């Protein structure tokens, strides 16, 4: 039996289903969390396939720039997460 939660649903095995797509795939972003001992892609932007199309992504700071002060946060970026920005167009 599926249970509906707006655009999400949960099936019999408690798996969440949705019709959203990842606007910020790892191959385009690389990483969104950047600290001395941990550098990974943890943050995502999801959008409805039926409503939005991705027009572009804001450029990410290079690894060299992020490593200038070892890790985040630093004097240029006040968070340990890199901002993800996407330009979406409504269909």
Question: Which pLDDT belongs to residue 4?
Answer: 57
Span 8-66, pLDDT tens digits: 777 777 777 777 888 887 777 778 898 888 888 889 898 988 889 999 998 888 888 88
* Residue 8: strand, helix, or coil: strand
* Whether 49 contacts 20, CB under 8 Å: yes
**Can you give the C-alpha Rg of the chain in angstroms?**
17
* Whether 82 contacts 72, CB under 8 Å: yes
Span 66-82, pLDDT tens digits: 888 888 888 888 888 88
Q: Band the pLDDT of 6: cuts 50, 70, 90.
A: low
């Amino acid at each position: 039996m599926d249970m509906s939660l707006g655009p999400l649903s949960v099936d019999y095995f408690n798996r969440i289903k949705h019709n959203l797509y990842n606007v910020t795939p790892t191959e385009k972003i690389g990483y969104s969390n950047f600290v001395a001992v941990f550098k990974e892609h943890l943050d995502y932007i999801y959008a409805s396939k039926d409503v939005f199309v991705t027009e572009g992504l804001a450029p990410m700071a290079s690894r060299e720039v992020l490593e200038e002060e070892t890790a985040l946060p630093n004097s240029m970026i006040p968070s340990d997460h890199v901002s993800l920005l996407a330009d979406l167009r409504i269909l």
